[in-house]
Amino acid sequence: MTGSASLVLGPDGLPRCAWAGADPEYQRYHDEEWGVPLHGQRQVFEKISLEGFQAGLSWITILRKRPAFRERFHDFDLEAVAAMSEAEVELLLDDARIIRHRGKISAVIGNARNALQLGDDLDEILWSFAPAPRPARFEQWSDVPAITPESTALSAHLRKRGYRFVGPTTMYALMQSGGLVDDHLVGCWRSESAP
């Protein structure tokens, strides 16, 4: 650990946000994905889906299961997911490689159908709720909000359009992971390397 409980010193000598811990996959995700601007219909749909599956669980669980999620959900291709049948849902419920939660599985399929039926550009919708950059970085993880007015507004917008598992906390996690906000803490090597 570094001098701050909100940072952890990795085996490579780099200080990271403490949530990255010592797990190599978590550290890779922190270093290469978290806070990097996310674009593309498929990419945004995948992240919305995985953030929904994460609700109530640790993100490392989702990262470890992400290859299986991509396989079973047709690499999050909207048309392929929207076409999934009840028989496929039953197969998913038997696959221990993913999170076997009927409500979350059904939500992903329903969200894909909504996006196609409504003609939603998920990339455009997501980024239309991006907040202005903060004047300063947070120093402690305890200072980082769980929800913001922007995540609440994004959640309300998506819910009004029929999307599920898109609550304000889940949408703020999406904003963090998708680079709409940059919550790397003061002293984290990513905060020092960011523009």
Active site residues: 29, 51, 59
Planar angle of CA 130, 136, 140, nearest 5 degrees: 100
Whether residue 171 contacts residue 145, with contact meaning beta carbons closer than 8 Å, is answered with no
Task: List the beta strands (DSSP E) in the chain.
Answer: 7-9, 15-17
Give the chain's largest Cα–Cα span: 53
Q: Which of these, 161, 73, 51, lies nearest to 117 by C-alpha position? A: 161
CB contact at 8 A, 12 and 190: no
Q: How many helices (H) and strands (E) does the chain have?
A: 10, 2
Locate 170 and state its tokens.
Answer: 């889940």
Rg, C-alpha atoms of the chain: 17
The two structure tokens encoding residue 56? 């109530």
